[in-house]
Structure 1
Amino acid sequence: MLTTEFDFTLPRGLMDTEGVVHRDGVMRLATAKDEIAVQKDQRAKEGEAYSTLVMFSRVIVRVGTLSKITPEILENLFTRDLSYLREFYNRINQQGNSEIAVCCPSCNNKFSTELALSGEF
């Protein structure tokens, strides 16, 4: 069976308008339809960097309790989390590698870990 959704945990978290920080989320594989939608989006045409937010708003299923992910919500991502999501997106969509380099926030020990797949524990 093909796995199309992958769990992730943001390093810092996405803060919503009420100040709640959301860290755990799910991203699905991108489709050709997603790529086409990004190309058609006027905001993405005006600024290439915004195309990343438009794409992420399409492929992120949820972050914490937020299930309606928009580019405007993703504008509040910390840069470290945006970088993490870029790497995560590339790994699940292009590289097929299920391992990612991580760093323990407590002891700064660096190691590799396998990405957790949705529904598989």
Structure 2
Amino acid sequence: MLQTEFEFTLPKGYLDAEGNLHRKGVMRLSRAMDEIVPLRDPRVKSNPAYATVIILSRVITSLGALDEVTPTVVEGLFACDLNYLQKFYRQINELEEAAESESPSSL
């Protein structure tokens, strides 16, 4: 059976408005729509790097005790955690070789 969800632990963790730290999460494999939909978003049109934020918010299915992972949550991550998640995304979606030559996504 194909594994489609992968657990991760953020190096620092997401600190929510109440001061709770969220480090453990689950990321699912990306689908084509996860990379296509962000291209329609006006935030991506004005800043292509923002696609990373939207893609991650679509594929992270859980993070700590949060009800949902939104683009605002991803925006609030520490830089080292964002970098970790970008690498993790490439790893589980087997994009390492594509990233070295020519990757279709901004991740």
TM-score by length of 1: 0.75
Cα distance in 1 for partners of 2:32, 2:74 equals 22
Deviations 1:59-110 (A, max 9, x none): 00011011311111111100000000010000001248xxxxxxxxxxxxxx
Deviations 1:4-24 (A, max 9, x none): 000000000011111111000
Runs of 4+ deviating beyond 3 Å: none
One-letter code aligned to 1:37: V
Please identify the structure whose Cα radius of gyration is greater.
1
Q: Which has the larger displacement, 83-92 or 43-52?
A: 43-52
Identity among equivalent pairs (%) = 51
Distance 1:90 1:2, change over 3 A: same
> Which structure 1 segments of 5+ residues have no match?
97-121
User: What value does the CA root-mean-square deviation take over the aligned residues?
Assistant: 1.2
CA contact (8 A) 1:34 1:58 kept: yes
Report how many residues are paired.
96
TM-score by length of 2: 0.85
CA contact (8 A) 1:22 1:63 kept: yes
Residue of structure 1 in register with 2:87 after alignment: 87
Residue of structure 1 in register with 2:35 after alignment: 35
CA contact (8 A) 1:61 1:67 kept: no
> Which structure 2 segments of 5+ residues have no match?
97-107
Greater strand share, structure number: 1
